[in-house]
């Protein structure tokens, strides 16, 4: 039911934020912030990799061409690549025109007599090739072979296999395409819409051929995975909440035998959710989908309030009077739980703060509704049909077995000490709901297209594009020896394709003037069979290159190289960053040390995997710390409210024991703890507090105690049903929350019963119910 | 001159270029026939055709022959000469090894081509899938000498002139991209022996490879 509401709200509210990163800390250093922003909004996140799968390679090639043509025309993509002409005619000409500033081999000696002679001899051997017609047109304009040197230097990317001019996997069963969307990767709505259009276009393109030789479309990429993930979660949540709602409704109906009571029990929760959303929206300007989902989960505790009221109603009593009687206990529970939740409010993390505010406001709203609204609308004369006397008797019997609790706790602690399963989940990847199938598909396509997922990178910053490029050029000089020594397999950087202005100008300066060049050339040509005026175009080209404007990023816009440059060099908050992705870092620790001298020069090394894991651990530890503060403040409130340390202990002890035991059980079944387990423990504390307070409430008659216990069993069963269903989810996060809370609720109830006041010594409870 | 005078506006064939730096000087050819004194047998036969010629070439093919090649280019004032060895290892292996004046090797095996040049310090492998033009070029030799008329006709229109005693087999590429590079490839021979292979480029450049001896 709780989840049903969650899903309904998520679906109906349009300005619910879906982007997870808005909940994450913004990064400790400017570099991290910049990187996070780029990962979210930059070219990396906008990448879509597509494969057309089928048996007939010729058919696939045709489909790839049509499909790519549609994509280029749609205007939704900045770049579409499928292997067909990587460069337009203009782009090729531009590249050729700038060869003397782009080629790293251009220096003064390139145009010396001796060097020219060597080059000319190589060109002669080119002409002995039967395919010389492919190169010969270049010889008069580019005798030193600069264009070929540029292409060679840029060939760090091995293009995939080609068939009929389009990219294919090596077995020719997949035609491969690569695209960069106009929409940002995190813009889930646009991405989802776009993906729908892509599938629609694919159906049109392959419509005719599907019967004979079926062609399948496979897509991957950050935005594809994100959309798919969201759909998986939504689907799972819907399915599970349907089951949970059904189970809980049936259960409550059986318990109270009244439809109107059933409806009324939803009132406080609904009010709580609405108030929570309003408060968060007011304070933060937006509410994140995750806040909503987790918030509603945390508010599950307020469903207990109306149940307490209903359980205490008798044939004779009037609801407002009953309410007044149980209010002190309930109030104490509300205040203490709210304090626990408010610890979240004080954290520096936007996500947790939202959650805290949502839960606290919701809690108070639900309490107020239960206290002042509900008693007046409960049908007069309603009472539970069951007195719960036998339940009370069982509980009384249970108190005789209270020694079980310390025994179980000792066992639990022992199992922790002796276990060698890691306590914490260190790898964020294990928390993600991405299916193995999806991960594998991503890997396969990335490998085939040679666009690996980058793990290690260096970020070089600068006040301007030029400064960032210059710094990365200096860095490259330090990286090259590492590549030679084998400590690094390779690296990529923007200045390889787009040298800094400084470098370009140095190359221009190294071009000799026309007379010198002509003299060197004439001398170099002596004795070689080249026609005498053959190299006139070469002399013209160098003369022109000497004075032309340097190349900038604009020159490559909309090409595959432009796509690469966009992801390697970009502006963030007025500063420029050049990213240097590294391949094959053998020893990360050593590498870090090697880069030490570069620190403080706006050069930072990042291990993305470690970085994201570190961030998650940070988040988790913060939550853990807040949990501690929450427990402490709950203790203090109880002390003030109950005024008897022994009773405080009596209330806190079952909760503490339950948490230890549940943790041990989860640990024993192989669960590793994450942020989500800890957040669930907070909910368990809220629930446990409620149970323990009511158990320790002064019971007048046996019948009264029976009603209390009956109410508690109903509360607990409801929780266990909802979260037990959640525990069946395939999504790790939902399963973690479900298992922890369901087990926690059960343990809290049992332990609270075990440790409750024995009926023989009622005087200890005097303080619980102040007059 | 095929090249535009204004260097900025020249239309470059980039895809071809990507291929070339992998593959620099010339790729190709294979081996031939020699020997075999079955000479006169079919001389006057009216049914003599491309299929029969190719079949007999394959039957009498030697594993290794020496060649001398002369390249004529309109960039040059005089032709360039090279020497080397051709090897054919059926059904898919083919090697051109230039031994003088520089050392260079092109080794075709199935769908890959290895280019090795000691002078240039290069050693690269290239997949034929990446370049239909190169594939077509290689098939001219591989199919002709490997008795695969079906493949040959997929890439070329094939004409046979002359008579069994003295013949010329002319291959003209069907594909537009290949036509830009090669006008025609002419195998000349006597009986079951190929004596020379001439490659004509559309701009008038040509190379003539003369098969000198069968290697031992």
* Model confidence pLDDT, tens digit, residues A299-320: 777 888 888 888 888 777 788 8
pLDDT in tens, A229-249: 777 777 776 777 778 778 888
Residue A761 pLDDT greater than 60, yes or no: no
Is the torsion defined by CA of A726, A727, A728, A730 positive or negative? positive
Give CA separation, A594 vs A177, A331, A587, B174, in Å: 38, 61, 10, 58
Residue A613 pLDDT greater than 70, yes or no: yes
Greatest mean pLDDT among A73-87, A246-260, A633-647, B175-189: B175-189
Question: Which chain B residues touch A124 with a CB distance below 8 Å?
Answer: 80
Residues 6+ apart with CB under 8 A from A386: A255, A710
H-helix or E-strand spanning residue A28: none
Question: Is A128 in Cβ contact with B69 (below 8 Å)?
Answer: yes
Domains, chain A: 257-420+611-768 (1.20.1640.10)
Question: Is B82 in Cβ contact with A168 (below 8 Å)?
Answer: no
Give CA separation, B162 vs B53, B159, B183, B188, in Å: 12, 10, 20, 10
Question: Which chain B residues touch A128 with a CB distance below 8 Å?
Answer: 25-26, 69, 71, 80, 82, 98, 207
Residue B55 pLDDT greater than 60, yes or no: yes
Residue A569 pLDDT greater than 70, yes or no: yes
What per-residue confidence (pLDDT) applies to A700? 65
CA-nearest residue to A154 within chain B is B18
What per-residue confidence (pLDDT) applies to A132? 73
- Least-confidence region, from A8-17, A316-325, A525-534, A621-630: A8-17
Interface check A531 vs B, CB under 8 A = yes
CA-nearest residue to A97 within chain B is B8
Dist CA A534 CA B73 (whole Å): 12
Give CA separation, A646 vs A651, A660, A769, in Å: 9, 21, 15
Question: Is A152 in Cβ contact with B21 (below 8 Å)?
Answer: yes
Structure tokens at B170: 């002319």
What per-residue confidence (pLDDT) applies to B36? 35
Look at phi and psi of residue B6 and say left if phi exceeds 0, alpha if psi is from -120 to 50, else beta: beta
Question: Which chain B residues touch A544 with a CB distance below 8 Å?
Answer: 7-8
Taking 3-state DSSP, the helix, strand and coil percentages for chain A, each rounded to the nearest 5, stand at 65, 10, 25
Considering chain A, what percentage of its residues have pLDDT values greater than 70? 84
Residue B184 pLDDT greater than 90, yes or no: yes
Interface check A157 vs B, CB under 8 A = no
- Least-confidence region, from A31-35, A122-126, A565-569, A634-638: A31-35
What per-residue confidence (pLDDT) applies to A41? 64
Question: Which chain B residues touch A555 with a CB distance below 8 Å?
Answer: none
Interface check B27 vs A, CB under 8 A = yes
CA distance A205 to chain B (A): 24
pLDDT in tens, B201-215: 888 888 999 988 654
Instruction: Residue B205: name the closest of B73, B25, B69 by CA.
Output: B73
Question: Is A134 in Cβ contact with B19 (below 8 Å)?
Answer: yes
Dist CA A247 CA A258 (whole Å): 16
Question: Is B1 in Cβ contact with A161 (below 8 Å)?
Answer: no
Residue A570 pLDDT greater than 90, yes or no: no
CA-nearest residue to B137 within chain A is A131
Dist CA A93 CA A14 (whole Å): 49
Structure tokens at B173: 């590429």
Interface probe with A: pick from B2, B9, B10, B137, most Cβ of A within 10 Å: B10
Residue B64's beta-bridge partner residues? B87
What per-residue confidence (pLDDT) applies to A387? 57
Residue B170 pLDDT greater than 90, yes or no: yes
What per-residue confidence (pLDDT) applies to A26? 56
Dist CA A536 CA B144 (whole Å): 42
DSSP-derived secondary structure letter, A372: I
Domain boundaries, chain B: 14-214
Residue A673's beta-bridge partner residues? A424
Least CB–CB distance from A140: residue in B3, B8, B180:
B3
Per the model's pLDDT, the better-predicted residue between A394 and B10 turns out to be A394
Per the model's pLDDT, the better-predicted residue between A594 and A535 turns out to be A535
- Alpha helices by DSSP H, listed for A369-497, are 374-377, 389-399, 404-418, 436-449, 465-485, 494-497
- Confidence (pTM): 0.66
pLDDT band per the 50, 70, 90 thresholds, residue A333: confident
Chain B 81-140, CB below 8 Å of chain A: which residues?
Answer: 82, 98, 102, 104, 119-120, 127, 129-132, 134, 137
Question: Is A141 in Cβ contact with B3 (below 8 Å)?
Answer: yes
Question: Which chain A residues touch B99 with a CB distance below 8 Å?
Answer: none
CA distance B25 to chain A (A): 4
CA-nearest residue to A548 within chain B is B8
Task: Number of A to B CB contacts under 8 A, please give it.
Answer: 143
Question: Which chain A residues touch B5 with a CB distance below 8 Å?
Answer: 536-537
| Mean per-residue pLDDT over chain A, rounded | 80
Measured in degrees and rounded to the nearest 5, phi and psi for residue A618 equal: -60, -45
Least CB–CB distance from B75: residue in A131, A136, A151:
A136
CA distance B98 to chain A (A): 10
pLDDT in tens, A43-69: 677 888 999 998 888 888 888 988 998
Residue B111's beta-bridge partner residues? none
Residue B66's beta-bridge partner residues? B85
What per-residue confidence (pLDDT) applies to A38? 64
Question: Which chain B residues touch A137 with a CB distance below 8 Å?
Answer: 2-3, 10, 12-13
What per-residue confidence (pLDDT) applies to A27? 58
Residue A743 pLDDT greater than 90, yes or no: yes
Chain B 149-178, CB below 8 Å of chain A: which residues?
Answer: none
Kindly state the average pLDDT of the residues B31-50. Answer: 45
What per-residue confidence (pLDDT) applies to B9? 31
Residue A618 pLDDT greater than 80, yes or no: no
Question: Is A531 in Cβ contact with B207 (below 8 Å)?
Answer: no
Dist CA A1 CA A250 (whole Å): 11
What per-residue confidence (pLDDT) applies to A29? 63
Residues 6+ apart with CB under 8 A from A104: A149, A153, A496, A499
Question: Which chain B residues touch A156 with a CB distance below 8 Å?
Answer: none
| Mean per-residue pLDDT over chain B, rounded | 75
Residue A468's beta-bridge partner residues? none
Least CB–CB distance from A89: residue in B11, B28, B180:
B11
Superfamily of domain B14-214: Lipoprotein localisation LolA/LolB/LppX (2.50.20.10)
pLDDT in tens, A654-699: 899 999 999 999 988 888 888 778 878 887 888 888 888 888 876 6
- Least-confidence region, from A141-155, A478-492, A594-608, B75-89: A594-608
Question: Is A128 in Cβ contact with B80 (below 8 Å)?
Answer: yes
**B122 burial type by CB count under 10 A (0-12 exposed, 13-18 middle, 19+ buried):** middle
ipTM score: 0.75
Interface check A218 vs B, CB under 8 A = no
Question: Is B2 in Cβ contact with A128 (below 8 Å)?
Answer: no
Instruction: Residue A13: name the closest of A210, A262, A273, A258 by CA.
Output: A273
Q: State the first-to-last Cα distance of chain B, in angstroms, to the nearest integer.
A: 43
Residue B199 pLDDT greater than 70, yes or no: yes
Least CB–CB distance from A134: residue in B8, B16, B28:
B16
Per the model's pLDDT, the better-predicted residue between A405 and A464 turns out to be A464
Residue B13 pLDDT greater than 70, yes or no: no
What per-residue confidence (pLDDT) applies to A291? 72
CA-nearest residue to A140 within chain B is B3
Least CB–CB distance from A130: residue in B12, B17, B28:
B28
What per-residue confidence (pLDDT) applies to A303? 81
Per the model's pLDDT, the better-predicted residue between A51 and A616 turns out to be A51
pLDDT band per the 50, 70, 90 thresholds, residue A582: confident
């Amino acid at each position: 039911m709780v989840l049903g509401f969650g899903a309904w709200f998520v679906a109906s509210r349009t300005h619910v934020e879906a982007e997870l990163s808005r909940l994450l800390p913004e990064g400790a250093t400017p570099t991290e912030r910049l990187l996070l922003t780029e990962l979210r909004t930059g070219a990396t996140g906008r990448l879509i990799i597509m494969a057309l799968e089928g048996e007939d390679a010729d058919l696939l090639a045709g489909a790839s061409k049509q499909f790519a043509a549609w994509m280029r025309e749609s205007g939704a993509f900045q770049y579409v690549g499928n292997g067909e002409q990587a460069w337009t005619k203009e782009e090729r000409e531009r590249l050729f025109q700038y060869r003397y500033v782009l080629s790293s081999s251009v220096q003064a000696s390139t145009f010396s007599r001796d060097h020219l002679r060597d080059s000319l001899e190589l060109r002669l051997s080119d002409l002995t090739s039967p395919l010389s017609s492919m190169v010969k047109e270049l010889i008069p304009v580019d005798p030193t072979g600069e264009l070929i040197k540029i292409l060679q230097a840029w060939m760090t990317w091995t293009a995939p296999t080609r068939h009929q001019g389009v990219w294919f996997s090596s077995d020719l069963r997949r035609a491969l395409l690569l695209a960069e969307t106009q929409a940002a990767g995190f813009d889930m709505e646009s991405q989802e819409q776009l993906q729908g259009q892509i599938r629609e276009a694919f159906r049109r393109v392959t419509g005719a051929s599907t019967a004979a030789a079926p062609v399948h479309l496979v897509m991957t990429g950050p935005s594809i995975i994100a959309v798919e993930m969201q759909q998986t979660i939504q689907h799972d949540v819907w399915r599970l909440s349907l089951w949970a709602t059904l189970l809980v409704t049936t259960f409550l109906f059986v318990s109270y035998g009244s439809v109107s009571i059933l409806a009324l029990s939803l009132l406080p929760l609904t009010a709580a959710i609405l108030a929570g959303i309003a408060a968060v929206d007011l304070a933060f300007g937006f509410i994140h989908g995750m806040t909503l989902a987790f918030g509603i989960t945390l508010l599950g505790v307020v469903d207990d309030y109306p149940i307490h009221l209903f359980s205490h109603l008798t044939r004779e009593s009037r609801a407002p009077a009953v309410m007044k009687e149980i209010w002190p206990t309930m109030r104490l529970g509300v205040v203490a739980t709210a304090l626990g939740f408010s610890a979240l409010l004080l954290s520096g993390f936007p996500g947790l703060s939202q959650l805290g505010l949502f839960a606290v406001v919701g809690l108070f709203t639900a309490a107020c509704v239960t206290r002042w609204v509900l008693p007046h609308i409960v049908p007069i004369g309603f009472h539970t049909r069951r007195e719960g006397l036998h339940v009370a008797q069982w509980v009384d019997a249970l108190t005789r077995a209270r020694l079980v609790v310390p025994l179980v706790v000792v066992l639990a602690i022992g199992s922790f000490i002796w276990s060698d399963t890691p306590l914490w989940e260190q790898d964020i990847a294990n928390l993600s709901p991405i299916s193995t199938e999806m991960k594998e598909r991503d890997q396969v396509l990335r490998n085939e297209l040679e666009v690996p997922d980058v793990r290690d990178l260096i970020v070089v910053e600068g006040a301007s594009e030029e400064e960032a490029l210059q710094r990365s050029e200096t860095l490259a000089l330090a990286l090259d020896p590492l590549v030679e020594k084998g400590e690094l397999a390779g690296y990529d950087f923007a200045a390889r394709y787009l040298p800094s202005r400084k470098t370009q100008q140095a190359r221009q300066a190294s071009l000799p003037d026309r007379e010198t060049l002509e003299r060197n050339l004439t001398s170099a040509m002596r004795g070689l069979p080249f026609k005498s005026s053959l190299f006139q175009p070469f002399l013209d080209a160098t003369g022109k290159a000497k004075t032309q404007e340097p190349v900038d990023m604009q020159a490559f816009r909309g090409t595959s190289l432009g796509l690469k440059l966009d992801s390697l060099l970009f502006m963030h908050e007025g500063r420029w960053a050049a990213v240097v992705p590294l391949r094959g870092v053998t020893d990360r620790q050593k590498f870090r040390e090697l880069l030490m001298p570069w620190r403080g020069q706006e050069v930072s090394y990042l291990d993305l995997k470690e970085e994201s894991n570190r961030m998650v651990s940070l988040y988790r530890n913060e939550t853990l710390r807040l949990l501690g503060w929450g427990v402490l403040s709950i203790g203090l409130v109880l002390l003030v409210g109950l005024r008897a340390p022994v009773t405080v202990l009596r209330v806190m002890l079952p909760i503490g024991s339950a948490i230890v035991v549940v943790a041990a059980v989860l640990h024993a079944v192989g669960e590793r703890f994450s942020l989500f387990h800890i957040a669930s423990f907070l909910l368990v504390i809220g629930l446990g507090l409620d149970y323990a307070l009511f158990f320790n409430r002064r019971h007048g008659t046996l019948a009264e105690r029976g009603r209390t216990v009956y109410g508690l069993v109903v509360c607990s069963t409801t929780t266990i049903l909802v979260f037990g269903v959640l525990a069946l989810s395939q999504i790790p996060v939902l399963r973690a929350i479900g298992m922890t809370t369901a087990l926690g609720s059960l343990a809290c109830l049992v332990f609270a019963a075990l440790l409750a006041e024995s009926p023989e010594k009622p005087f200890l409870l005097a303080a619980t119910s102040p007059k | 001159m095929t090249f535009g005078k204004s260097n900025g506006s020249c239309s470059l064939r980039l895809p071809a270029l990507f291929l070339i730096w992998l593959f620099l000087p010339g790729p190709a050819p294979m081996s031939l026939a020699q020997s075999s004194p079955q000479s006169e047998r079919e001389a006057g036969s009216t049914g003599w055709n491309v299929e029969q010629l190719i079949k007999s070439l394959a039957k009498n093919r030697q594993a290794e022959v020496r060649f001398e090649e002369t390249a004529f280019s309109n960039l040059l004032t005089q032709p360039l000469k090279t020497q080397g060895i051709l090897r054919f290892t059926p059904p898919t292996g083919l090697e051109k090894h230039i031994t003088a004046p520089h050392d260079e090797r092109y080794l075709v095996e199935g769908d890959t081509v290895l280019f090795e040049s000691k002078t240039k310090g290069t050693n690269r492998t290239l997949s034929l899938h990446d370049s239909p033009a190169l594939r077509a070029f290689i098939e001219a030799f591989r199919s002709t000498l490997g008795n695969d008329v079906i493949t040959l006709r997929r890439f070329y229109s094939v004409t046979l002139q002359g008579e069994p005693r003295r013949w010329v087999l002319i291959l003209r590429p069907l594909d537009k991209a290949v036509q830009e590079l090669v006008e025609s490839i002419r195998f000349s021979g006597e009986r079951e022996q190929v004596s020379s292979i001439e490659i004509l480029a559309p701009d008038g450049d040509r190379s003539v490879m003369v098969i000198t001896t069968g290697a031992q």
